Amino acid sequence: MDDVISQRELRNNSAAVMDAVENGETFRITRNGVEVAELRPITRRRKLSAEELVTRHRRLAHVDAAAMRADADAFFGTEDRVGEDDPWSRPRG
């Protein structure tokens, strides 16, 4: 449940309020009795291990590059397509 505190209470007890936020609490801040803001912890994602990244990568859907190229050519056309001498091309696989 969110705690409701006044702007003055936030100002006078900012260190304690920030400690509580750091520990997961959320506060709704009022000014003249009207709620104007919410102070809550930032949700941070933990870093994934190499093994977790590999596992996620293996779960990705297979992309058929030839079918994707055919769809793109059908939609955009081939007139402005860069040729085989494209200096920015990379090996596909």
Domains defined for the chain, CATH in brackets? 3-39 (3.40.1620)
Radius of gyration of the chain (CA): 27
Distances in Å between the alpha carbon of 53 and those of 47, 59, 74? Answer: 10, 10, 34
What is the pLDDT averaged over residues 10-33? 94
- Dig out the tokens for 78 from the structure: 């081939």
pLDDT in tens, 79-88: 777 667 777 7
pTM: 0.47
Any idea which residue has 């696989």 for tokens? 93
Classify 28 as helix, strand or coil. Answer: strand
| pLDDT at residue number 81 | 72
- Dig out the tokens for 8 from the structure: 């003055």
Strand partners, 4: 28
**Selection from 60, 82, 87 nearest residue 72 by Cα:** 82
| pLDDT at residue number 35 | 95
